[in-house]
Amino acid sequence: MVYPPQGIKFKPEENIVIGNVALYGATSGKAFICGVAGERFCVRNSGATAVVEGVGDHGCEYMTGGRVVVLGSTGKNFAAGMSGGIAYVLDEKRDLYKRLNKEMVSFEEVTNKYDVLELKDMIKEHVAYTNSAKGKEILDNFGEYLPKFKKIMPHDYRRMMNTIVQMEEKGLSSEQAQIEAFYANTKK
């Protein structure tokens, strides 16, 4: 957990509180940052879960796994080369599409009930650990904020996850479904 000390005179969600390349290559764990991260946040993240209140340029670049929630704006080139994992970004100004590298990912509103639960639970955990005013505001008015969130997910990752579900519905174990999904998606 990273948060400013009590008695500060600035808004954490408007100031960088953690430097560049934080969580670079993270493989597991959780991070909650009450404030903005510098450039290249969660680059090459393969399994960590993180909540932050804004990121600089190149956030979630080459991400292969994990989950990231951004409760604020992003810099340019967000999600470049992202091949796995999911990012939820609060797009209050409706201009994320200008900074998102759309080559390998799609973005959509958060409407699936499991995504909504995951997003809300991650924000709740963020607030519990950091006492984030921005997080509290979002939770207190979740119905108003939810339509402003975007889910960023790589095209190939979505295809694999859908195939795994199809294989599990045929009765395969989780492990066997992953193997079969891999083969089904590499034959193309």
CATH number where 123 lies? 2.160.20.60
User: Facing residues of 134 across strands?
Assistant: none
Q: Domain containing 120: what range?
A: 12-154
**pLDDT exceeds cutoff 70 at 95:** yes
Q: Residue 7: what pLDDT? A: 86
What share of the chain has pLDDT > 70, as a percent? 99
Percentage of the chain lying above the pLDDT 90 cut: 92
36 domain-assigned? yes
Average pLDDT of the chain?
A: 96
**Residue 40: pLDDT over 70:** yes
Tell me: pLDDT of 188 over 80. no
> Does any domain span residue 161?
no
* pLDDT reported for residue 5: 86
Residue 159 placed within a domain? no
The percent of the chain in helix, strand and coil, each rounded to the nearest 5, is 35, 20, 40
